[in-house]
Structure 1
């Protein structure tokens, strides 16, 4: 269940019992009462909520503060740490962020959730593979909250080097903590509402051989859903990182494994929420009536296993030349569950004979959906509803057991969607900084290549004891389809930054090349392929430091891009798909920063126009191709979104260590119509209407 509002959400688990911290090490060691802040790397790369002055950053870039991370309860997701960043709202179905289905991140009118990806995500600068329900994965599948150093948030006019093809509205770069210089063993335990509990341990090696340090961590977390407690979530994780400094080279490696099994929450309408704000229409008990039991919470689950790792080598020639190369890999296996209130009839059994789907032992691959089986007679044959039966309120006759003979038995399926994803890729970056008279000039460039192969398989299993439990026959009675997807992605960028006196200017260009294909291995569907590329995407900006200490004015412009999602390949006919174009956005920013102790402040004005929005059109709205009546609909580029707003931050500190921070965001995001009033009306698009799910005003206050 998602909720949107003007103020950040306060979770029950934020009040969980204070974690028990035990720090042990061979000398020298951290004090037993060390704070969470001391437990993080002394080489922290975090910044305050205002970017450091003088870095020629001509766009809004902020980082999650250490104090914000220290306030997170140990079972929160790394995404929740973003809620104190100006203009960012993270909505999660529960305080632990355990629901893939119910997580949404919003920023400047752009959204990342289970089916819309408009905000880029990277892990230590490397791509997460997308944030859709079927993977890649959200950042909380790669990093434990206690291993997080910070999150760099590039809003709107994102860093040109960002390795993401979803960054229409900016990029979130989640940075893992570096190993400590000293040896340490850290153990953390926490407990809270809804039987929440987590155990975490991390060991830092300290310096090995004078140039290498590493850590390894493990955690295990459990919680129940907050509605009726019937859904049990589990998450287990192990991760490690090393850093080796060898003369002019720095080698870094990271590896993580995450195993999660989580019940989902379902979406509710505003009317349903007003009627019952404490429920989501899922239930915790089986009734024996399949139509009701399809809402059994434990039958709607997301199972995910993620393994991610990278190796990076960075060179610093101490003469203005820097370079880095990185290689990474990611494997995800996942499953999404649901228990439909019927069996799908895929075998042409004669009337009055036992239903093959009920008996088990046979699997149909592909095939045709003949119909649905809702109830069966004692002999296993398909039961028919009583003619003329008037069903109870909320039921149709085929679902109502009162419309059948008294001795029938309800049947159900356990439908699985299997995801198997493999990604490998590499990045390369170079930078050369030289002084030419009064001009301090830096030119940099880079490449990114990724090979992404994934498969999606949907199969159907019979429930063995409908109404009693959800155990199922592990041999499916129907494998509905299997699709193989392949994506080759390439990106280059080049940028020049010139600093002269109080001014700096930058200009750059980047371009994406994306080749995608989908082949149907099981089932009937045409194969689809797409070879697309973006236009050269321009990025430019200027900064000016006026003769006032600690003040910097900046302005920036960028063209952002999102590749056609691979899901579109699976649901659009090949002929129509050729006309679908990638989504694009133009970002303009103007702002001022102040960093002068004890004051930090910033104000940013922005305008973003998002074009070529990809929208699913029902078949009734598709014109010109008669055979499309055989399909449910297609995807097309249809209108867009325009956002205007202001973000303001203010911080003030005292010499005794206390600091207050606050931010205010006003955002107005509106839909842009297609120019076809009839089509807009049927799709529910009102030109100029406020975008659904985007907070208009956001206020954040904190004291540390």
Structure 2
């Protein structure tokens, strides 16, 4: 169910919304070796609101937003037969943002402060642990909601047309993401969570700058992305160092050579142009080496 209402008064625009999801997940063992199971994953009514104020300065506006969301309980929780599911609820989040946006003929910029609270994190406790509430423990352990993640940060974005053929863009993100404790130190210890520690795999800073060029026949661009330090383990004792990766592309509009080739393009893309060594994807307790310099050539046709 979704309901949205738009109200505009002079320079103020207010948007209100509400939605609700109805999700049921069932598990059926066709070999009858374990009990069937089901879980109700319906959401509460999720509210959202947005406000935009067009300031006296032409092209500048202030905006604010609030949104509630949820994550339906996945089928993975049904993969442990005879686990207790009686007290499990969907994970939820609340997001708030406040920002300033400016747009001119060849220039646009945005500054946004945001805060996100992720709660009701679903965790599993085995039935041989003393942590958690004893009445929850099923014959194969229990799932229940505890803790979550708090995050807040600042995003800056700039887009500038240097000329009819050149465009410069850049963005910067500052992030602070930490784990919320469950309120039970034994549960936190079982999960390896230390309340207040930074979230695994989330960089504290991200910075991107790029330049795009476009002419009638040729087009191309180059961009550089900086990724700040990231913690690899829950204890925050192992850090994946920051790194910079440069990507580039060059394309050709073949339709400019012949009407028969209209809609055809040839594209060369080079990722990690400087062949930087770095740790790419990070998960709890591990990290994968980032891809080396790679190049690809492709042709596309639009009909």
TM bucket (normalised to shorter chain) is 0.5 to 0.7
Which residue of the partner structure matches residue 538 of structure 1? 47
Structure 1 residue 508 displacement after superposition: 1.1
| Residue 97 (structure 2) aligned to one of 586, 589, 599 | 589
Structure 1 residue 654 displacement after superposition: 2.3
Structure 1 residue 627 displacement after superposition: 7.5
Which residue of the partner structure matches residue 277 of structure 1? none
**Distance in 2, Cα, partners of 1:535 & 1:613:** 16
**Distance in 2, Cα, partners of 1:627 & 1:618:** 8
Structure 1 residue 651 displacement after superposition: 1.6
| Residue 159 (structure 2) aligned to one of 636, 641, 651 | 651
Q: Which string of whole-angstrom CA distances, capped at 9 and with x for unpartnered residues, describes residues 530-584 of structure 1?
A: 234211111111001111121111000011111111111222635x202100011
Larger radius of gyration between Structure 1 and Structure 2: 1
Q: SS where residue 549 of structure 1 aligns?
A: coil
Structure 1 residue 616 displacement after superposition: 2.2
| Residue 606 (structure 1) aligned to one of 101, 110, 114 | 114
| Residue 665 (structure 1) aligned to one of 173, 178, 188 | 173
Q: Is the 8 A contact 1:571 1:634 kept in 2?
A: no
Structure 1 residue 687 displacement after superposition: 0.6
Q: SS where residue 73 of structure 2 aligns?
A: coil
Question: TM-score if structure 1 supplies the norm length?
Answer: 0.29
| Residue 579 (structure 1) aligned to one of 87, 98, 116 | 87
**Distance in 2, Cα, partners of 1:669 & 1:581:** 23
1:549–1:647 Cα change, 3 Å = same
Aligned residues: 210
Q: SS where residue 525 of structure 1 aligns?
A: coil
Q: Which string of whole-angstrom CA distances, capped at 9 and with x for unpartnered residues, describes residues 166-212 of structure 1?
A: xxxxxxxxxxxxxxxxxxxxxxxxxxxxxxxxxxxxxxxxxxxxxxx
Q: SS where residue 688 of structure 1 aligns?
A: coil
Q: Is the 8 A contact 2:17 2:47 kept in 1?
A: yes
Question: TM-score if structure 2 supplies the norm length?
Answer: 0.66
Which residue of the partner structure matches residue 257 of structure 1? none
Structure 1 residue 622 displacement after superposition: 5.0
Q: SS where residue 28 of structure 2 aligns?
A: strand
Whether 1:522 and 2:13 are equivalent positions in the alignment is no
| Residue 634 (structure 1) aligned to one of 104, 119, 142 | 142
Q: Is the 8 A contact 1:572 1:635 kept in 2?
A: no
Whether 1:674 and 2:166 are equivalent positions in the alignment is no
| Residue 700 (structure 1) aligned to one of 208, 212, 224 | 208
**Distance in 1, Cα, partners of 2:203 & 2:161:** 29
Give 1:1-150 correspondences, 5 Å limit: none
| Residue 564 (structure 1) aligned to one of 34, 49, 73 | 73
Structure 1 residue 618 displacement after superposition: 2.8
Which residue of the partner structure matches residue 512 of structure 1? 21
Q: SS where residue 76 of structure 2 aligns?
A: helix
**Distance in 1, Cα, partners of 2:71 & 2:82:** 21
| Residue 196 (structure 2) aligned to one of 688, 693, 699 | 688
Q: Is the 8 A contact 2:25 2:74 kept in 1?
A: no
**Distance in 1, Cα, partners of 2:198 & 2:81:** 28
Structure 1 gaps, min length 5? 1-491
Q: Which has the higher contact order (CA 8 A, sep 6+)?
A: 1
Q: Is the 8 A contact 1:572 1:634 kept in 2?
A: no
**Distance in 1, Cα, partners of 2:92 & 2:136:** 30
**Distance in 1, Cα, partners of 2:158 & 2:97:** 19
**Distance in 1, Cα, partners of 2:77 & 2:122:** 9
1:500–1:570 Cα change, 3 Å = same
Q: SS where residue 533 of structure 1 aligns?
A: coil
**Distance in 2, Cα, partners of 1:696 & 1:529:** 39
Structure 1 residue 592 displacement after superposition: 1.1
**Distance in 1, Cα, partners of 2:154 & 2:100:** 12
1:659–1:644 Cα change, 3 Å = same
Give 1:159-308 correspondences, 5 Å limit: none
Q: Is the 8 A contact 1:515 1:530 kept in 2?
A: yes
Q: Is the 8 A contact 2:171 2:208 kept in 1?
A: yes
Higher strand share: 2
**Distance in 1, Cα, partners of 2:94 & 2:164:** 44
Q: Is the 8 A contact 2:125 2:142 kept in 1?
A: yes
Structure 1 residue 500 displacement after superposition: 2.3
Q: SS where residue 682 of structure 1 aligns?
A: helix
Q: Is the 8 A contact 2:162 2:168 kept in 1?
A: no
Q: SS where residue 581 of structure 1 aligns?
A: coil
Q: SS where residue 188 of structure 2 aligns?
A: helix
Which residue of the partner structure matches residue 624 of structure 1? 134
**Distance in 1, Cα, partners of 2:50 & 2:70:** 18
1:566–1:627 Cα change, 3 Å = closer
**Distance in 1, Cα, partners of 2:58 & 2:165:** 23
Structure 1 residue 598 displacement after superposition: 2.2
**Distance in 2, Cα, partners of 1:612 & 1:626:** 16
1:515–1:610 Cα change, 3 Å = same
